[in-house]
Chain A
């Protein structure tokens, strides 16, 4: 059991929304990962769809590069569409 790989779990809470990372768990294979995710993360009606991916397949950005990756966006206020009036019917933007 200690050799079970780690899986990252993504849950779609309802239609129209995207899958969102909710946590990680151990499982022997993808089938078991789905079942475990169902039991651990959707007991309270949290989801309608589950994605699992083995953690080793995720490549993360390095915290050391955070300055060069993200800081340049700090002073580009004009990239935020705050100057538009959105119609009420538009959701999830």
Chain B
């Protein structure tokens, strides 16, 4: 695959899969206000993925549409990180997953606004406004629940311990990341890594949560090696287009 397009798909797939995960909360969140808040974030992310898929389809020029990219690729072709496909479990897991992602996404997009690909830079600029709010939302919930009751603290710590090994993949560059960075299209993930880690440390300390000791990080999603969870997400998300090909609103 063309590295430029693959890079776009990584960004788009992160947004789509996390958006789809968050959408599972629709009608199920703890209270009405959070139900609307989390699905707002889901819609922001799905909107971002649409812009990126449309652009990738344009560059690809193979007659595929943004919908084809979202609904007709199988798990092995998705390039999202493992973190975003992890299950919602409960509100604590959802918030920790969201925070670990948002803290990365914010700095990533901020750097991406300076991409030499002006179209991509413009998408990043637009997304950054939304993600600034996402980060504020998830940070406040980290603090509120981490520094909340004994039970909420313990639930957050458990979620953090379980999800920790998935956050390193976000800021660890592979050959493709380095290639795109060199061409000026992509960002320097090592620069993002220190910003990401500093943000995490700041919020964990305000949330009175302990940073997990293990530094071993799981990876593979960016190269298309996914956990079993992604297949179930796609089964839900792609059912309609698979069963009724070409169906439209």
Contacts and interface: CB of A to CB of B under 8 A. Distances in A.
Contacts of B37: 35-36, 39
Contact of B33 (A31, A39, A43): A39
* 3 residue pairs, one from A and one from B, having the closest CB atoms: A36-B33, A39-B37, A39-B36
A27 B33 contact: yes
Interface of B is mostly: helix
A22 interface: no
B137 A35 contact: yes
Contacts of B137: 35
- Which of B32, B36, B137 has its CB near the most chain A CB atoms (within 10 A)? B36
Interface residues of A, number: 14
Nearest to A29: B144
Contacts of A40: 32-33, 36
Nearest to A41: B36
A28 interface: yes
Contacts of B33: 25-27, 36, 39-40
A43 B40 contact: yes
A37 B40 CA distance: 12
A84 B19 CA distance: 56
A4 B137 CA distance: 18
A32 interface: yes
Interface of B: 30-34, 36-37, 40, 133, 136-137, 140, 144
Given A1-B30, A1-B31, A26-B31, A35 B140 contact: yes
Contacts of A32: 140, 144
Contacts of B32: 25, 40
Contacts of A27: 33
A38 to B, nearest CB: 8
A36 B30 CA distance: 13
Given A1-B30, A40-B32, 5 more contacts: A4-B31, A25-B32, A25-B33, A35-B137, A39-B36
B36 A31 contact: no
Interface in A12-28: 25-28
A43 to B, nearest CB: 6
A38 B37 CA distance: 9
A4 B144 CA distance: 14
A60 to B, nearest CB: 24
Nearest to A28: B144
A31 B31 contact: no
A30 B144 CA distance: 13
11 contacts: A4-B31, A25-B32, A26-B31, A28-B144, A35-B37, A35-B136, A36-B34, A38-B133, A39-B36, A40-B32, A40-B33
A3 B196 CA distance: 35
B40 A39 contact: yes
A39 B133 CA distance: 11
A31 B141 CA distance: 11
Contacts of B133: 38
